Structures are given as structure tokens and as C-alpha cells.
Structure 1
Amino acid sequence: MIVAFSVAPSGGPAGTGDSASVHDAVAAAVRVVRDSGLPNRTSSMFTEIEGEWDEVMDVVKRATEAVAAYGTRVSLVLKADIRPGHTGELDGKLERLEAAIDEQK
């Protein structure tokens, strides 16, 4: 499966009322994803990660927990492409898209 997710804090650091830097919180989440060893890609709006259901969801959970340290509330947006038996789709989907675009020229 591929999961695209975005996670961000709000409400300032837990218990302080201070405003935390969103990019620091996102960096903490992305570090969890990169340290997982699973194929991943981060863009300006989402992080994508590919693997089996349990391992991907565990990474998303740990990334969300990492962000929780930066606010009293966490927002998580998640989209999943669940396709059993397929791997390498993080790049494969893009390669097929680019080939289709080239064919239309």
C-alpha cells in the first residue's frame, strides 16, 4: 500500500500555550518516516510511504506521536492506495503517468 499523509500540530507546545514552529514538528514526523527504512517521498504538502498495512500504519502513528510534542492538538490527513501484491508503486505510478503524458505529445 501507499499512504500519503500530512500531520501538523496546533495549540502550541503541550501545556504551554506558546506557538511552536510547524516546520520543526513536520521535520520530526519526516525523520520518523525516513528512519523507518520504507520507501518514502516528501513534497511541500504530503509525505508518501509504501509498505505493508501494519508497518505503514505504525510509521504514521509514530510520526503523529512525534508531532504531538509540538502542540496540544494534532491534525492528520491520510489517503491510502491499498493494492495487495504490488510493490514499487511509489515510483511505478509516476513512471506510468509520465509515459502517458509523453504519448499525448
Structure 2
Amino acid sequence: MLIAFSITPLGVGESVGDLVAEAVRVVRESGLPNQTDAMFTLVEGEWDEVMAVVKRAVDVVAAHAPRVSVVLKADIRPGVTDGLTSKVVDLEARLADA
């Protein structure tokens, strides 16, 4: 499974970067393949392990914020591995062929 998610702490003021960094730290320490961009963090793995990482990241933020917003998109495709990079490689190859 490949997921893209974002966590937004609410009720802690305008700057949320420190808490978002704590959530990303949880993901990076998980050992699962991951990538973070300006909007989302992507994580790849089995359902239970990926969702456990998301829960831990939310819990870290919730410990310091009275409310947490989570946006999550999942691509569940059994048998596919390395979707985190292979999807981008495939897209780039298609663009190069055009």
C-alpha cells in the first residue's frame, strides 16, 4: 500500500512547522520507504504497518495540539512493491517518449 497523508495541528497558532516536523520524524524513524514534499508525506508498506505509522504521527502531534486534521489518500494494490519510486520512473519514461 502506498499512502499520501498530511497532518495539521489546529489551535496552536499560525506556525505549525515544529509539530509537523515531529510527525515527519516519526515516519522517517519507522524504517518504511517514505518521501516528504511541501504538501504530503508518502509512506509505503503493508496496511497495518503504514496505518500504525500514521497513528503514531497523529499521536505525537495530538500531544501538543487540541485538535488535529488528517488528510489521507491510499493506493492499495496487492503485489506491487517499490511503488514510491516506480510510479515516478514510469511517468518520466512516458514523458520522455512523448
TM-score by length of 2: 0.96
Q: Give, in whole Å, the separation in 2 of the partners of 1:56 and 1:2.
A: 8
**How many residues end up aligned between the 2 structures?**
98
Q: Give, in whole Å, the separation in 2 of the partners of 1:20 and 1:87.
A: 38
TM-score by length of 1: 0.90
Name the SS for the 2:5 alignment partner. strand
Alpha-carbon deviation of 1:56? 0.1
RMSD, aligned α-carbons:
1.0
Q: Give, in whole Å, the separation in 2 of the partners of 1:100 and 1:9.
A: 38
Whether 1:97 aligns to 2:95 is: no
Identity %: 61
Deviates more, 1:91-100 or 1:60-69: 60-69
Deviates more, 1:39-48 or 1:68-77: 68-77
Question: In 2, are the aligned partners of 1:30 and 1:47 still within 8 Å (CA)?
Answer: yes
Alpha-carbon deviation of 1:67? 1.0
Runs of 4+ in 1 over 4 A off after TM superposition: none
Aligned counterpart, 2:28:
34
Q: Give, in whole Å, the separation in 2 of the partners of 1:20 and 1:44.
A: 17
- Larger Rg over CA atoms: 1
Whether 1:44 aligns to 2:35 is: no
- Which stretches in structure 2 are left out of the alignment for 5+ residues? none
Aligned counterpart, 1:56:
50
Whether 1:6 aligns to 2:1 is: no
5 Å-filtered alignment, 1:72-91, equals 72-91=66-85
